[in-house]
Amino acid sequence: MRKVFLPRNMGELWSIMTDEPAARVYAGGTDLLVSMRSGAVVAPVLICLERLPELQGVREEGGEMWLGAATTHAALLRNPLVARHLPLLVQAVRTLGSPPIRNMGTIGGNVCTASPAGDTLPPLYVLAAEVELQHAGSRRRLPVREFITGPGQTRLAAGEILTGIHIRKPVEANCQRFEKIGQRRALACCIASLAALLTLTPAGVVISARLAWGSVGPTVVEAPAAEAALTGSVLSRDTLNRAAAFARQAVAPIDDIRASAAYRREVAGNLLLRLPQVQG
């Protein structure tokens, strides 16, 4: 039998973490409990973060948004501030798991699980999100792309938890799009995804472009050459094809049960061709 703690405030959390250094921390349980049942993860002690008010909710802090790490995906989708300021993230979260999974899983959990297929990760990369990490008595911020170091691997230190995510509001990005390929619409682990954050002139010329792909490499893949290929041009078929070629060079997909590496590489480029459909 494992001990299971449900701390009610941060003071309780830090004292449990000090007393139980081998504890594994979880919020929704949609990843950790599955890995434990399959035997992939052994955890003698569990700490569930679902009842910590300090990790809940969404705040507007000047030009930034703060998302509490233990805020569920469903709560993000219901939040009017998230709807107004982070439409790219909203599009991604709508495709994540299923209604019950979104009622349980949290944004912080999606980041800490650091799956190459994590649906919130490509948007968080292009939004230049920063994770807020706390340790008993200390706090630091790290760009999400530095926090995640490999599949399932992060820079989370012993005794530290992710408490929130800071995102600068993308006020100028007037074209925000998330595209995901899966075997079906719900309950589908991602085969390839694209998050695009573009700023266009009224005539449709790209002023700036941020692009990130999911499920086509060990972590989220960025392709500065593809971004540069879009910048200064309208989103014509030729421009997009040129950018798609750079994207296919940048990705490093694998063959797995869901799709072949070759298919993923092809699709990673093709997802760019969908951008004109939503211009403006």
Partner 1 sequence: MTVEFNLNGRKISVNVDPDRRAVDVLREELGLTGTKEGCGAGECGACTILVDGVNRLSCLMLAAQLAGREITTIEGLSRDEGLHPLQDAFVKHGAVQCGFCIPGMILGAAALLREKPTPTRDEIRQGISGNLCRCTGYQKIVDAVTEVTRAVKEEGKSS
What secondary structure does DSSP assign to 59-83, as a single string? EEETTEEEEETT-BHHHHHH-HHHH
**Integer Cα distance of 141 and 43 in angstroms:** 27
Does position 185 interact with partner 1 (CB under 8 A)? The reply is yes
Q: How far is the CB of 272 from partner 1 (least distance, A)?
A: 27
Tokens representing residue 38 in the block: 């399959």
53 binds partner 1 (CB under 8 A): no
Residue 30: CA count within 13 A, CB half-sphere: 26
Beta bridge partners, 4, equal 46
Contact window for partner 1 (CB under 8 A) among 3-11, 129-137, 173-181, 191-199: 3-11
In 3-state terms the chain splits into helix, strand, coil percentages (rounded to 5) of 35, 25, 35
Residue 138 β-bridge partners = 135
Residues 57-96: x where in contact with partner 1 by CB under 8 A, - otherwise, as a string = -----------------x----------------------
Q: Rounded to 5 degrees, what angle do the CA atoms 204, 64, 102 make?
A: 85
Q: Which position among 11, 63, 99, 232 is part of the footprint of partner 1 (CB under 8 A)?
A: 99
Instruction: Answer yes or no whether residue 224 interacts with partner 1 by CB under 8 A.
Output: no
Among 10, 20, 24, 50, which residue interacts with partner 1 (rule: CB under 8 A)? 50
Task: Tell the smallest beta-carbon distance from residue 88 to partner 1 (Å).
Answer: 20
**Should residue 103 be labelled a site residue for partner 1 when binding is judged by CB under 8 A?**
yes
Q: Which of 17, 23, 46, 165 is close enough to bind partner 1 by CB under 8 A?
A: 46
Kindly tell me which residue out of 40, 186, 252, 262 binds partner 1, with binding defined by CB under 8 A: 186
Q: Are 268 and 247 in contact (CB under 8 A)?
A: yes
Distance from C-alpha of 30 to C-alpha of 132, rounded to nearest angstrom: 22
Residue with tokens 């703060």: 66
Report if residue 37 touches partner 1, rule: CB under 8 A.
yes
- Answer yes or no whether residue 6 interacts with partner 1 by CB under 8 A: yes
Of 141, 113, 112, 115, the C-alpha closest to 128 is 141
Quick one: which of 67, 90, 104, 216 contacts partner 1 (CB under 8 A)? 104
- Is residue 183 a contact residue for partner 1 (CB under 8 A)? no
Which secondary structure element, helix H or strand E, spans residue 34, and what is its range?
Answer: helix 32-38
Encoded tokens for 134: 């706390």
Q: Residue 60 carries which side chain, given as an amino acid letter?
A: E
**In the complex, which residues of this chain contact partner 1 (CB under 8 A)?**
1-6, 28-30, 33-34, 37-38, 46, 48, 50, 74, 97-101, 103-104, 185-187
